Amino acid sequence: MTDPALEPSPWILRLGNAFCEAQALLTAAELDLFTVLHGSPATERELCRRVGLHGRGARDFLHLLVRLDLLTDEDGRYRNTPDADRYLVAGEPGYVGGFLHGAKANLYPVWGGLTETLRTGRPRSASDSFAAMLDDPAQLRRYAQMMDGVLRPLLPRLLEAVDWAAYPEVLDVGGCRGSLVARLVARHPGMSGHVFDLPQLEPVFAEHMAEAGAAGRVTFHAGDFFTDPLPQADLVVFGHVLHNWDAKQRELLVRAAFDALRPGGALLVHDRMLDPADPRVDNLLASLTMALVTEDGGEYPVEELAELARAAGFAAVDRQPLDDNETLVLCRKAT
């Protein structure tokens, strides 16, 4: 009779091998396989020709994508599942491929160094690597697309979460290509939109504004928010910004936002904030990612942000879930 204590745990073994499934998805996204299949089912041989595969391993790769519910196989012709068509086809409104491209190029490699980061406290991606990325047009574009990929699934709920019409002038700090503000000014013709970010991002911002039909309606302000004052606004947005820094730096940024706001204005923050009593797995993974790619960053509890906001002078702090993992906090300045 087999001793149960000697039998391997299927769950533990599956978890230990989950990186293989993740790499299959990331590789398919890198190959742009789902875009190639969109509206055009193909055989294995046709797909190999279209995306430039040698052929060895291709059948197993495609069968794996079928088992992962990303493709279907109908008499030897592969097509996207509905979810793949919705989220993994370039140009579609729900496309998250930008994030997946960035994850494969930037996040997947650094997670291999988690042991070292836990032992030393040092990130696997140094600050000079980020500076080098900013000066490399190809890497910068991939970074900007990754930021858009993270934001895009949140945009529908974010656009409905606040009475944006109450704020005539909106400033998105660290707003990258300006995706949020472009959507806002399209919805609210009287709104004035602004993005504050590092000067290297201005070209990709300008390109995106032209694509979004928002050129001339959103202003880019180049600067460093730790050394340069923020432009005046009625609402300041920190979306996936504060988690890049430690508590002291978050305090400085919250105070900078308070100073930039007109009376009656508000600071909107959204991040994958932590619930100390019941932290979500996805948010813990996000926090560890920040440890791997930033000098001092990490996700943080809602209450920490609320205390920083009250100390800065905000009169009221409201919070609400934005999705299963994301929290939105609105800090209001007195009139």
Write down the domain spans for the chain. Answer: 4-87, 156-277+295-332
| Cα–chain center distance at 82 | 22
Lowest mean pLDDT among 1-15, 140-154, 261-275: 1-15
CA-nearest of 254, 250, 240 to 293 is 240
Which tens digit of pLDDT belongs to each residue from 234-254? Answer: 999 999 999 999 999 999 999
Supply 227's token pair. Answer: 């050394």
* Domain 4-87, second-level architecture: Orthogonal Bundle (1.10)
Are 4-87 and 156-277+295-332 the same fold in CATH?
Answer: no
The residue annotated as part of the active site, out of 101, 194, 208, 243, is 243
**Other residues' Cβ atoms within 10 Å of the Cβ of residue 187:** 11
**Residue type at 68?**
L
CATH number for the region 156-277+295-332 comes to 3.40.50.150
Strand-pair partners of 220:
195
Name the helix (H) or strand (E) containing 261.
Answer: strand 261-271
pLDDT of residue 128: 66
125 pLDDT band (50/70/90 cuts)?
Answer: confident
How many residues are recorded in the chain?
335
Which tens digit of pLDDT belongs to each residue from 144-183? Answer: 988 988 898 899 999 999 999 999 999 999 999 999 999 9
Q: Among this protein's residues, is 243 annotated catalytic?
A: yes
pLDDT of residue 93: 86
pLDDT of residue 168: 97
Name the helix (H) or strand (E) containing 289.
Answer: helix 281-293
Name the helix (H) or strand (E) containing 259.
Answer: helix 247-260
CA-nearest of 177, 176, 300 to 249 is 300
pLDDT of residue 53: 96
pLDDT of residue 301: 97
280 pLDDT more than 90: yes
Give me the mean pLDDT over the 182-211 stretch. Answer: 95
Residue 79 backbone zone (phi > 0: left; psi -120 to 50: alpha; other: beta): beta
pLDDT of residue 330: 98
43 pLDDT more than 70: yes
CB 95 within 8 A of CB 32: no
**Other residues' Cβ atoms within 10 Å of the Cβ of residue 306:** 16
* Spatial separation of the C-alpha atoms in residues 264 and 1, rounded to whole Å: 73
CA-nearest of 159, 150, 121 to 297 is 121
189 pLDDT more than 60: yes
pLDDT of residue 129: 76
Q: What phi and psi values does residue 275 have, to the nearest 5 degrees?
A: -100, 105
The per-residue pLDDT of the chain, averaged, comes to 94
* Spatial separation of the C-alpha atoms in residues 56 and 34, rounded to whole Å: 20
Which residues make Cβ contacts (< 8 Å) with residue 192, sequence separation at least 6? Answer: 168, 169, 170, 185, 219
Give me the mean pLDDT over the 20-26 stretch. Answer: 97
Name the helix (H) or strand (E) containing 210.
Answer: helix 202-212
**Residue type at 191?**
M
pLDDT of residue 127: 61
133 pLDDT band (50/70/90 cuts)?
Answer: confident
Supply 285's token pair. Answer: 């993974």
Give me the mean pLDDT over the 13-32 stretch. Answer: 95
